Amino acid sequence: MRSAEDVLFSRGGLDRAAHLRSDRAALAELAARADARALPCWRGKALVVPGGNMRLGWLGLDHPVFAEHGGERVFLGLEEGAARFAIDISTWDDPAADREALGRFADMSLNRHPLIGGDLAFAELRANMAVLDAGAAGVAAAARGILGWHASHRFCARCGAATGAAEAGWRRICPDCGAHHFPRTDPAVMMLVTHGERVLLGRAPGWPEGMYSLLAGFVEPGESIEATIRRETMEEAGIAIGRIRYLASQPWPFPSSLMIGCAAEALGREIRRNPDELEAARWATREQVLEGLAGHDPELKPARPGSIARFLLEAWVADRLA
C-alpha cells in the first residue's frame, strides 16, 4: 500500500552506517566529537521531552548519568554526520517509580533521574504512540529493541557462558565456544480479514473493556507468512482464508517483533471462536468501525492510535488499502 511507510516506528530518521560498526577507530573518533549524542534508555523506556510531538532526550556522551549507570552502549547510526548511540542505564533504581505501571502497555508514568535536569523524563513508548514524533519513534524503537536484546541475551545459547557485545552493539560473541549471536526479530502477522464489506474483529482476554482489534499471531518455524495467516485465522475464529496480500509492516520492539500487516479474504462468515484465544469475535461494517474510531461506541473501541491494527483499520474504512 502506498502509505505503508507512514506506520509508526517504521521511519528510522538515522543512517545506520553499518559499515562503521566494525571500525573501532572511526567510531571512537566520532564518539569524541562535540556533536556526538546518546539516548539513555531505562528498563525499556526512552528519555523524552514530554508533551505533544514528543521528541527524544539526547545527551552528550560525557553526561554524568552515563558515568554513574552506563551499561551496554550501541551505535545507532549517523544524523547529519554526527554519531548517535543508545546507552542502557537500567542499573539505576528510581525510588519514585510506579512499580505497578512499569513494563505495562499503558504505563503513563514518567521517571525523572536527578542527574538529568530540565523536563526530560523516561517514558513508555507504547503509552505515548499518539504523541510521539515519527522520526523519534523510529529511533526509539531501534534503541529499545537492541538494548532489550542485550539485556535478555547475556549468556550463550549454545554453551551457557557469559557473552560480550561486539560490532558496536550489533552482535554478541561467546568467548568460550566462539558462537556469534545476532539481534533477534520475531515475525508476527496482523490480519485484516474481510468478507465483502465487513472486517473481522476480535478481543483477547484481559484487554481493556470494549477494545477490539485485528487477529494476529506469531510466525512459527518452517511457516510462510501466508501459512501463518491461514492457520491463525482458522485456530482463533474457524475462518478459512482465500487470497492474501501484503499491506504494511511495523517494528514492534516489545520485546522483538516485526508486525506484518496483510489483507486476507475470508471464504465465509461463520465464526467458530476459540475461547482460549478470543473472548469475543465479530464482523463489523465500515459504518460500525467508523463509529468506533470516532469514539461513539463503547462496545467497539478499535486498537490504539499508533498501532498497525489501527492504521490498517483506518485505511480500510477510508478505502486506502491500495
Residues found near Zn ion in the complex (CB under 5 A): 156, 158-159, 161, 174, 176-177, 179
H/E run at residue 27:
helix 24-32
Residue 255: asked if its preceding bond is cis (omega within 30°), the reply is yes
Buried b (16+ CB within 10 A) or exposed e, 145-178: bbbbbbbebeebeeeeeebebebbbbbbebeeee
- 144 vs 172 by CB, closer to Zn ion: 172
How far the first Cα of the chain sits from its last, in Å, is 5
Angstrom distance (rounded) from CA 189 to CA 100: 30
CB of 177 to Zn ion, least distance (A): 3
Contacts of 294 (CB under 8 A, 6+ apart): none
- 130 vs 177 by CB, closer to Zn ion: 177
- 174 vs 193 by CB, closer to Zn ion: 174
- 18 vs 161 by CB, closer to Zn ion: 161
300, 289 Cβ separation under 8 angstroms: yes
CB of 155 to Zn ion, least distance (A): 8
For residue 268, give the C-alpha cell.
465465509
Q: Which residues pair with 180 in a beta bridge?
A: 173
- 2 vs 154 by CB, closer to Zn ion: 154
| Closest to 7 (Cα-Cα) out of 210, 247, 168 | 247
66, 38 Cβ separation under 8 angstroms: yes
CB of 172 to Zn ion, least distance (A): 10
CB of 221 to Zn ion, least distance (A): 22
CB of 174 to Zn ion, least distance (A): 3
Amino acid identity at 61 = L
CB of 153 to Zn ion, least distance (A): 12
- 32 vs 162 by CB, closer to Zn ion: 162
